[in-house]
């Protein structure tokens, strides 16, 4: 059945259930002109938004399925909240679909949205749906909260800090490359691209352990590191040999004849965290959250990123995923 056959209100009936996963702050949810919700005393509010466009951000049947797209549309927003040390609370969304899109595909998309919202106890407060003549467009606005005065920004890096990242990086970009090549195997790389995990818990621990600056790796490490350097007015010095690169990424890099660093620095959509803090505070963090690795240091100097590799120091430009 096509979405045009059930109409807007039939579509709403299909997806309106199971939307509140932390109902206490919600006064009015889906069903009125707007939603009403209560904020937590002593907390500041975070608002973020992101859009995914069919055949630009995803190719159905090649780089993902509709369920994955719904999941990832929310994950990218929750990662931005994690990158401020926040707690995600609610989303609203706007979708545009072709009239001939199958209802089952739309339901699969919303199942992905609901499943990740359930995992992180995020409420779906409402949305809007319109017709698209070319492809699907999914826009999600997410809201979160952070203790007043505690938000972690890109602009706080200090000379003497260590630079660190979470887990391994580059897997998502490599997973996209695997799928675009139609290669079998490399399941962990594919999963990293299709189902990224926003680092909410780590973001909260970084608030606790006095992180100085923080960014999520959505556009590649080169871009995000340069954003911290520019916002903080410092030099970041990264050590290539210290980068946490997975064995599976290294295997794909060798098989595809691509340098592993390309996926790390410009691949994007890892949604891991890159951050700076004192070495003493990092030791305390690592004792509580072992899956973090130091990859460099912060120096006084011009706002730039330097990569050390094979005994050479070279500027690392802010290359990575861009929308234009």
Q: Is 57 marked within a binding site? A: yes
Using one digit for the tens of pLDDT, what is the confidence trace for 61-89?
999 999 999 999 999 999 999 999 999 99
**Residue 159's Cα: distance from chain center in Å?**
27
Q: Is 68 marked within a binding site? A: no
- pLDDT band per the 50, 70, 90 thresholds, residue 96: very high
The pair of structure tokens assigned to 190 is 């594919």
CB atoms within 10 A of CB 149: 7
- Is the pTM higher than 0.85? The answer reads yes
Q: Between the CA of residue 88 and those of 20, 67, 81, 203, what are the distances in Å? A: 13, 21, 6, 11
Q: Is 100 marked within a binding site? A: no
φ and ψ at residue 322, rounded to 5 degrees? -130, 160
Q: Give yes or no for residue 320 having a pLDDT over 60.
A: no
Beta pairing partners, 127: 93
Q: Given this model, what pLDDT does residue 8 score?
A: 65
Residue 18 host element (H or E): none
Using one digit for the tens of pLDDT, what is the confidence trace for 164-182?
999 999 999 999 999 999 9
Residue 137 host element (H or E): strand 137-147
User: Which value, in Å, is the radius of gyration of the alpha carbons in the chain?
Assistant: 20
Q: Is 42 marked within a binding site? A: no
Q: Is 216 marked within a binding site? A: yes
- Round to whole Å and give the CA distance between 248 and 257: 14
- Round to whole Å and give the CA distance between 304 and 230: 7
- Is the four-CA dihedral 275, 319, 179, 184 of positive or negative sign? negative
Q: Is 33 marked within a binding site? A: yes
Q: Given this model, what pLDDT does residue 323 score?
A: 46
| Length of the chain as a residue count | 324
Q: Given this model, what pLDDT does residue 15 score?
A: 75
- pLDDT band per the 50, 70, 90 thresholds, residue 214: very high
Q: Is 94 marked within a binding site? A: no
Domains and CATH numbers, the chain: 3-147 (3.30.1330.10), 154-315 (3.90.650.10)
């Amino acid at each position: 059945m096509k979405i045009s056959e059930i109409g807007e209100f039939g579509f709403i009936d299909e997806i309106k259930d199971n939307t509140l996963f932390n109902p206490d702050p919600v006064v009015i949810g889906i069903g009125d002109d707007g939603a009403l919700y209560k904020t937590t005393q002593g907390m500041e509010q975070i608002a973020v938004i992101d859009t995914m466009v069919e055949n630009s951000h995803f190719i159905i049947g090649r780089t993902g399925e509709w369920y994955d797209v719904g999941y990832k549309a929310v994950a990218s927003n929750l990662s931005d909240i994690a990158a401020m040390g926040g707690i995600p609370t609610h989303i609203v969304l706007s979708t545009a679909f072709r009239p001939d899109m199958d209802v089952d595909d739309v339901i699969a998309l919303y199942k992905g949205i609901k499943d990740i919202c359930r995992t992180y106890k995020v409420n779906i407060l409402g949305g809007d749906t319109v017709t698209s003549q070319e492809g699907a467009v999914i826009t999600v606005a997410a809201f979160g909260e952070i203790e007043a005065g505690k938000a972690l920004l890109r602009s706080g890096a200090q000379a003497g800090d260590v630079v660190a990242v979470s887990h391994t990086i580059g897997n998502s970009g490599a997973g996209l490359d695997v799928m675009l090549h139609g290669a079998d195997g490399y399941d962990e790389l594919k999963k990293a691209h299709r189902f990224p995990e926003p680092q909410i818990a780590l973001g909260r621990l970084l608030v606790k352990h006095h992180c100085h600056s923080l960014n999520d790796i959505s556009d590649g490490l080169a871009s995000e590191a340069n954003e911290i350097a520019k916002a903080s007015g410092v030099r970041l010095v990264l050590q290539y040999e210290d980068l946490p690169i997975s064995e599976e990424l290294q295997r794909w890099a060798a098989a595809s004849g691509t340098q592993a660093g390309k996926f790390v620095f410009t691949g994007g959509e890892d949604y891991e965290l890159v951050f700076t803090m004192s070495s003493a505070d990092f030791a305390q963090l690592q004792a509580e959250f072992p899956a973090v690795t130091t990859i460099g240091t912060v120096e006084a100097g011009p706002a730039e990123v330097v990569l050390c590799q094979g005994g050479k120091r070279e500027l690392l430009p802010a290359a990575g995923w861009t929308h234009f």
